[in-house]
Amino acid sequence: MQDFNLYFELGWQHILDWQGYDHILFVMVLCGTYSLSEWKKVLILVTAFTLGHSVTLALSALNVLTVDAGLIEFLIPVTILITATSNIFQKRRQKKESTIKYILALFFGLIHGMGFSNYLKALLGKSNTIVAELFAFNLGLEFGQILIVLATLALSFFLIWVVKVRKADWAFFLSSAIFGISFVMSAERLAGLF
């Protein structure tokens, strides 16, 4: 149980670490166009992302899947950039667009899972029994992710219902700001690949 608590804590601390803010930005831009009343849609989106990164986190941590860390570090801000761009040009949600967003969240989760796995592998070292640690770390990541979602939805609620900012304006502002940050991250990490 002590190891469970340790890896759970490492999981949520990893996703909430401001030095690795790319994961925070992705979760924010993923749910930033939704309001608190649309929590079911956000839950489906976050679940799709969770499924994706759980699969590759497990495969990578178990050394079944290996991808160049530099490439993954470049692709993570690209996923943020694509999601932000999608939000910026989105007029209103239609069922088909929502389905595409869920599929993208699942696919982008696969990429983010490989990024998480590099950190987890460094923690585990050459340990042979990693299933419990992997499970606890993943639960910790999810706990941290839920905190990000709740903070983003609470901020959206405050701005839309208290400050009276139009929902479309808030979504555009948030997505545009995150687009700019992820564009710079992508460019810096692309230069690091060569």
Provide the pLDDT for residue 69: 87
Provide the pLDDT for residue 94: 58
Provide the pLDDT for residue 128: 65
Expressed in angstroms, the distance from the first to the final Cα of the chain is 44
Is 169 exposed, middle or buried (CB count within 10 Å of its CB: 0-12, 13-18, 19+)?
A: exposed
Which runs of E-coded beta strand occur in the chain? Answer: none
Residues 108-141: tens digit of each pLDDT: 999 998 888 877 777 777 666 778 888 898 899 8
CA pair distance 47, 102, nearest whole angstrom: 9
Q: Which stretches of the chain drop beneath a pLDDT of 50?
A: none
Provide the pLDDT for residue 80: 96
Provide the pLDDT for residue 106: 94
Provide the pLDDT for residue 126: 67
Residue (of 91, 133, 94, 99) closest to 116 by Cα position: 133
